[in-house]
Structure 1
């Protein structure tokens, strides 16, 4: 951790001197501030990480944390709390701090926390919470950075459910020139069909039953920023034409309005469906598909990301431990082997949920394969080679059967399998199936 620049914000002079001496001994550069006001006056561009005391004179640690996040949203902050303030420290983590330490703490604990925090928050290994060193994720990180800084205002994200499309959308916003404006998310599958238009474009008073006052839509709220349309494939056909009109020229009309309005919005849409197939089947407008399908990002499934699996599991374990106010769980070798054999149909979301469950049931413990859910235990009981062969044979049979039933039409075969056309293409390549 040599040349890491640490900002220590604490009014205890003795502690600041002690920490400064110890961290300089590890090759770090040190800056200090004895109050929140002094910390916020410092130039943060060259700071890599902040150690922030909760109990400060003047504005307290929580208010200072808010100020730091406003000035530098990606700057990692470790909260330092006095004994008995653990609940407040946990609340600080929920408000954006990376981690916390309770006084008194050992130097080794501090160094480990700094190291883990920098590893989790380093921009070269993570974009807005996306963890991974695999080739697939490295390519994704690079693409996100390029697209975020570009002038592109219509972007389509493809990938299986649970792969992190929302995180990618947030990263595209955070790293763009629009970051200071709003990021507005709407799930197109979660709203009743009769309310989606008013939700997106707003409504005038009396426009429909229950419209007792004028209402601003999400497009208006996202003006200057980013509108994330998740599950775009579920958008009703009746609204697709109006969305297309807005995408073409930024013009829209609120429900019941007599005049059109305009908004400058970057639209990021996401789906786990094969929109090209939906177009062929008449479920999605062809002109809207081609308007969206200009800049496309394909988010890799967890099973395609190699050693990212263990990195993510450890990341979630650390975060969940902070959330629960307990020690982090550890993954024993047989558990790691079982995790690697699992196919993760729910992707990153499934892994996160598993770690949350294990942390709540077995806080601070070493997790063995026997402590995993029954499905993962059953896989762990068989030799890796046997399980791998069985899974590959089963997958090959499913894919070839779907291709046969669809007369070799890949879009139809993907629909039968419940995956995207892009995911099917990757499987065909991996299984060596030529059609």
Structure 2
């Protein structure tokens, strides 16, 4: 059960504020008479919105707001400002409040800020669900909308222990990672996950690898050998690059799916298995069926539940997250300082089509972790092919626009406009503006201070967000 908390013992608007809260929210509204009482109520949990007055002891209130992440991480804060705050703007901004409300204000303004804060609280809950994806699928990296849909589908598929699954996607998209995630969240997770790459094993060996063989089945078969199917009994068999499997083996695999049994090579005795088959391919199997290169009946048996993994070029918003994750991983493993990426380099990498998908990006980061010695990767540090898909930059980092201009100056001006536009769009709310800009809130506050945007911020409604 959520509630809202008000700490405004000296605020003349207190009555209007409480009435508006009770009118706007179908939750209880608690009052705190002191900072200590406010801390206790916040630590008890369940607080959605916290209204904090900047009163006679303003720094005490700001200290309470700065502690909010530790006291109650999911609570959304609204700082109530007097008409003439006694503290400088930069100190107020560093409190970390989510929203600001300044006097004089009426019930309409109070209602609007409550509505926005409540929307932010609900959005935060959605973000928490997305963050849970990182826990559920730690090896599958992505926050884009298409990856969220993929995570949802994996969860639903994992509940089913028997249906065959066909994972389709280009090379390097992470088909085996998805197969492992399905197995790891399914009722079969206590059984073995057994991978077999049909394209990596010669045709004459693939049958014995998959089905095993009896002693004496062929020259060199001195003992019985269990195949991958028996190793996967009770678990999941992952057949990667199933499109490369030859027709004779396709027929035997079809029988396994239909009858849950098979004969090892050189044996007439059937072996029963309880196994879920997950297949993957980068090929177009429908086209292979039309050419007679893949059995139509096997295709429909495998394609009970199709799952398509998007290529990296269709989720370029995930490129910065992938770069950060792999950079930290490789720098840590090689005991090297973690490096970043300049805006220009990042733009090139986001625009690059990534024919090798995530695997290609991972290889690039590993190369940079070995060879790169600076704190920041610039376009000059990238192989030439990664520069072709983006605007050209000279070696000194200046953008070539209409005969040449100063790159740093243009970037700074563009950054100023982006920050102000984000603040205007969010009514001066720093946290929402930071989310729009894909920045940390503390980073945005530092930029506002460094660029001396406080005056311009005041002209658009300032910290009040009005």
Alignment TM class, shorter chain as reference = 0.5 to 0.7
The answer to whether the 8 Å contact 1:344/1:351 transfers is yes
CA offset digits 1:190-216 (Å, max 9, x no partner): 111111111011111111111111101
Moved more, 156-165 or 324-333: 324-333
In the alignment, the residues of structure 2 paired with residue 136 and residue 242 of structure 1 have an alpha-carbon distance, to the nearest angstrom, of 36
Structure 1 residues 138 and 181, CA gap change in structure 2 (3 angstroms): same
In the alignment, the residues of structure 2 paired with residue 288 and residue 330 of structure 1 have an alpha-carbon distance, to the nearest angstrom, of 48
State the match for 1:371 in structure 2: 381
In the alignment, the residues of structure 2 paired with residue 119 and residue 359 of structure 1 have an alpha-carbon distance, to the nearest angstrom, of 32
State the match for 2:11 in structure 1: none
SS in 1 for 2:225: coil
In the alignment, the residues of structure 1 paired with residue 372 and residue 337 of structure 2 have an alpha-carbon distance, to the nearest angstrom, of 10
State the match for 1:84 in structure 2: none
State the match for 2:197 in structure 1: 187
CA offset digits 1:122-165 (Å, max 9, x no partner): 43576241111111000000000110112343000011111111
CA offset digits 1:103-122 (Å, max 9, x no partner): xxxxxxxxxxxxxxx99984
How far does residue 224 in structure 1 lie from its aligned partner after superposition?
0.7
Q: 2:177 aligns with which of 159, 167, 184?
A: 167
In the alignment, the residues of structure 2 paired with residue 128 and residue 358 of structure 1 have an alpha-carbon distance, to the nearest angstrom, of 23
Normalised to the residue count of structure 2, the TM-score between the two structures is: 0.56
Instruction: For 1:23-422, list aligned pairs within 5 A.
Output: 27=70, 122-123=132-133, 127-363=137-373, 365-382=375-392
The answer to whether the 8 Å contact 2:198/2:206 transfers is yes
Structure (1 or 2) with the larger CA radius of gyration: 2
SS in 1 for 2:155: helix
State the match for 2:92 in structure 1: none
In the alignment, the residues of structure 2 paired with residue 347 and residue 157 of structure 1 have an alpha-carbon distance, to the nearest angstrom, of 16
In the alignment, the residues of structure 1 paired with residue 224 and residue 305 of structure 2 have an alpha-carbon distance, to the nearest angstrom, of 35
SS in 2 for 1:224: coil
Structure 1 residues 146 and 120, CA gap change in structure 2 (3 angstroms): closer
State the match for 2:10 in structure 1: none
CA RMSD of aligned residues (A): 2.7
SS in 1 for 2:226: coil
In the alignment, the residues of structure 2 paired with residue 234 and residue 322 of structure 1 have an alpha-carbon distance, to the nearest angstrom, of 38
SS in 2 for 1:320: helix
How far does residue 368 in structure 1 lie from its aligned partner after superposition?
0.5
Structure 1 residues 272 and 373, CA gap change in structure 2 (3 angstroms): same
In the alignment, the residues of structure 2 paired with residue 160 and residue 28 of structure 1 have an alpha-carbon distance, to the nearest angstrom, of 46
In the alignment, the residues of structure 1 paired with residue 283 and residue 146 of structure 2 have an alpha-carbon distance, to the nearest angstrom, of 21
SS in 1 for 2:133: coil
Structure 1 residues 364 and 282, CA gap change in structure 2 (3 angstroms): same
Normalised to the residue count of structure 1, the TM-score between the two structures is: 0.60
Runs (5+) with no aligned partner, structure 2: 1-41, 44-66, 73-127, 394-398, 402-466
In the alignment, the residues of structure 2 paired with residue 345 and residue 306 of structure 1 have an alpha-carbon distance, to the nearest angstrom, of 13
State the match for 2:436 in structure 1: none
Count of paired positions: 277
Runs (5+) with no aligned partner, structure 1: 4-23, 30-117, 387-435
